[in-house]
Amino acid sequence: MTTAAPPLNPPIRTLLGPGPSDIHPRVLQAIGKNTVGHLDPYYLQLMDHMQAMLRDLFRTTNRMTMAISATGSAGMEATVVNLIEPGDPMLVCVNGVFGTRMADVAGRAGAEVTTVERPWGEVFTTKDLKEALAKTKPKVVGIVMAETSTGAWQPLEEISELVHDAGALLLVDAVTSLGGVAVEVDKWNIDAIYSGSQKCLSCPPGLAPVSFNDRALEVIRDRKTKVQSWYLDVSMLADYWGTDRVYHHTAPINMSYALYEAVQIIHEEGLDAAFARHFQNHVALKAGLAALGIEYTAQDGHQLPMLNAVRIPAGVDDARLRGALLSRFGIEIGGGLGAFKGKVWRIGLMGYGSRSANVLLFLAALEQLLAEQGYNFDHGASIAAATDHYRGAVSGDS
């Protein structure tokens, strides 16, 4: 006899962790629309519009801009395995979990990997890379723009110039940054870039926007060996996403609807307006946390607006507090990863989740739970500080 499974009834959560983020109601509606075939004329037209909107989001004219039919980690793998052949030298910048992951992926693809490292929470400067570039002469340099494990926001423009002066390709992880801060693919001369649908795009996880410029495509076209992954081979995906529409795989139709709607919502708001909203909510949260004596992990001037990584106050039980946030308030935040495990909270204000209501809700719940653990602070201070910021922002004082 088959045991009956319980009915599907997921709880209502406010997702303020490192991802996935809260899904916009329009996106949830879009994913339930009628399914068509992956070569249906309607779907092929949708792909065209999707590419155009993704180009605008990446701020690029790259013809090979598309959504990989898999999560953001597959976007990482797709860019690496297409650019790297066995024995190719690759330099990877590591200042957190996801730089480490990129180096691992590159090693599995057969690259001769060299890493340049900075302490977690810090970012790279051109000075950090000069010696390694001269010594290893890499084919590809990989760097994470928004390190989700530390909250560090990596500047790219000067590093891109240095990388290209050394004759290398620049590969950028924009999984957490896309849609929350400016990502300037053409202006910064980024050769290949990948992101994910579940962060600032406020879409369910399952698609990975990527973009390759002509220089990267030329490297892929001139390969001496086949791409390690059949599924992620851009030379074949190009025939599906290009004008020929040659069958490659059965695309996730309804997820494409969701991403289409999610990106359309961002463009309706306007990119600059979306970036400003993320920044204002970040500053309000930061003011509230500062009033509680809670500090950020990333260095000043390089703190992500959509991923707030903060140090857990001394004496506070991490698991107990996060568990109570979830069970009593329905709020999810992330714990630390790797070297930051048990030391850091990761508070996401991504996409649709980046709203003043969420900032104030989180701070109120946090104050109550901190008080229950005997943490000493001025009660109501965080709400007052955040509210003061919003009042000033509305009046134009900040």
| Residue 197, in any domain of the structure | yes
- Are 99 and 33 within one domain? yes
Residue 398: predicted pLDDT: 40
- Are 195 and 75 within one domain? yes
Helix (H) / strand (E) containing 304: none
At 286, list the tokens: 């930061």
Q: Rounded CA gap, 165 and 169, in Å?
A: 10
- Are 100 and 173 within one domain? yes
- Are 113 and 245 within one domain? yes
Contacts of 154 (CB under 8 A, 6+ apart): 93, 95, 123, 124, 143, 144, 145, 146, 147, 302
Instruction: Collapse the DSSP code of 112 into the 3-class scheme (helix H, G, I; strand E, B; otherwise coil) and give the result.
Output: strand
Angle between helices 214-221 and 234-241 (to 10 degrees): 120
- Are 51 and 137 within one domain? yes
Give 19's DSSP letter.
Answer: S
- Are 167 and 190 within one domain? yes
Q: Rounded CA gap, 143 and 312, in Å?
A: 27
| Residue 237, in any domain of the structure | yes
Helix, strand, coil percentages, rounded to 5, for the chain: 45, 15, 40
- Are 234 and 115 within one domain? yes
| Residue 289, in any domain of the structure | yes
**Last residue within a domain, chosen from 267, 293, 326:** 267
| Residue 18, in any domain of the structure | no
- Are 188 and 335 within one domain? no
**Residue range of the domain that includes 298:** 270-395
**Last residue within a domain, chosen from 242, 267, 292:** 267
* H-state helical runs in the chain: 25-31, 41-58, 72-83, 97-108, 126-136, 157-165, 214-221, 234-241, 253-269, 271-291, 318-329, 356-372, 381-395
Give me the number of domains the chain comprises.
2
- Are 39 and 187 within one domain? yes
- The two counts, helices (H) then strands (E), for the chain are 13, 14
| Residue 215, in any domain of the structure | yes
pLDDT per 10-residue tile (average), the chain, 398 residues: 86 97 97 95 95 98 97 97 98 97 98 98 97 97 98 98 98 98 98 98 98 98 96 92 86 97 98 98 98 97 98 97 98 96 97 98 98 96 97 65
| Residue 9, in any domain of the structure | no
pTM over 0.85: yes
**Last residue within a domain, chosen from 240, 267, 294:** 267
| Residue 5, in any domain of the structure | no
Residue 243: predicted pLDDT: 80
Sheet holding 334-335, edge to edge: 307-311, 344-348, 334-335
CATH code at position 221: 3.40.640.10
Q: Rounded CA gap, 367 and 289, in Å?
A: 10
Write the pLDDT tens digit of every residue in 247-270: 899 999 999 999 999 999 999 999
- Are 146 and 116 within one domain? yes
- DSSP for 27-86 reads HHHHHTSPP--TTSHHHHHHHHHHHHHHHHHHT---SEEEEESS-HHHHHHHHHHHH--T
Inter-CA distances, 124 with 65, 195, 298, Å: 27, 20, 12
- Closest listed residue to residue 340, CA positions, set 152, 174, 106: 152
- Are 128 and 237 within one domain? yes
- Closest listed residue to residue 162, CA positions, set 124, 129, 193, 139: 129
